[in-house]
Amino acid sequence: MKYGVLFSVLSLLVVLCAILFGGWFLILLWPGFSFGVLGMGYLTLGHRVFGKLPDGSMHSVSVVVLLPYLLCLWGVWHLVRLISREPAYDELADGVLIGRRLLTHEVPSGTQTVVDLTSEFPESSGLRSVPNYVAVPMLAASILPPQILADLVTHLATMDTPIFIHCAQGHGRTALISALFLVARGDVSDPDAALKLIQGSRPLAGLNHLQRSAMIDAASLVPSITQ
């Protein structure tokens, strides 16, 4: 909700600036509209505003509409990638890897399944070319309904490993799905133990209040394959 309000307010301010100053400032209507679409995404429309497709690409119309925001976001992501000391990915358990979005040359050898949780990035060709690529677009800091989360990780637990689960930086969305995945696979007995394991391997990973609540609700719906 707060992201929706933030982007909506930013949209209004940018559009107002463009209208008041006119001339070359009218070009600000593009980023203003872009922020407005993002606000609607976080408030009502969900990840669909990014146009993420099942094959990991993004719809060209969405890219054009959101380009002012995407250029900034993608640029920051690359900057963080270059200066961060955090590993690109970490191993949680046998055959379970989590991390940030990877470039093609960074994909771990032998990866059989990739779970892409980003909605705001096109997936790299290296990750899309693994035997099993699964796109589960989620907005940053957001969740999916508990039953959908439970069904998702129950399905993922049957897929070939090694499996690589990632979002943009491998923190919030990745921690949510990975914790539930570990429960479904029977590596841990409960989501809190899973989260502790995740943070032991990737300290910056964590959940906000909404994500933690969704994790607990979904975990109660996940049948461990060891049962």
Domain count, the chain: 2
Same domain, 149 and 54: no
Q: Beta strand 89-93 with 96-99: parallel, antiparallel or unpaired?
A: antiparallel
d(CA 169, CA 195): 16
Residue 55 lies in a domain: yes
d(CA 165, CA 162): 10
Q: Choose the final residue of a domain: 82, 97, 119.
A: 82
Q: Quick check: 33 and 44 in contact, CB under 8 A? A: no
Residue 61 lies in a domain: yes
Residue 224 lies in a domain: no
Q: How many CB atoms lie under 10 A from the CB of residue 34?
A: 24
Determine which helix (DSSP H) or strand (DSSP E) holds 197, and give its type and residue range.
helix 191-201
Provide the pLDDT for residue 92.
Answer: 94
Provide the pLDDT for residue 23.
Answer: 86
Same domain, 125 and 171: yes
User: pLDDT by residue for the chain (227 residues), tens digit each?
Assistant: 788 999 999 999 999 998 988 888 889 999 999 999 999 999 999 999 999 999 999 999 999 999 999 999 999 999 999 999 999 999 999 999 999 999 999 999 999 999 999 999 999 999 999 999 999 999 999 999 999 999 999 999 999 999 999 999 999 999 999 999 999 999 998 999 999 999 999 999 999 999 999 999 999 999 865 44
Query: What domain range is 150 assigned to?
Result: 87-219
CATH of the domain at 108: 3.90.190.10
Residue 65 lies in a domain: yes
Provide the pLDDT for residue 157.
Answer: 94
Same domain, 169 and 106: yes
Same domain, 151 and 199: yes
Residue 227 lies in a domain: no
Residue 37 lies in a domain: yes
Q: Choose the final residue of a domain: 58, 82, 106.
A: 82
Residue 214 lies in a domain: yes
Terminal CA-CA length for the chain: 38
Same domain, 117 and 48: no
Say which residue the tokens 């955090």 belong to. 86
Provide the pLDDT for residue 226.
Answer: 45
Same domain, 40 and 103: no
For residue 9 the two structure tokens come to 């307010």
Q: Choose the final residue of a domain: 82, 103, 129.
A: 82
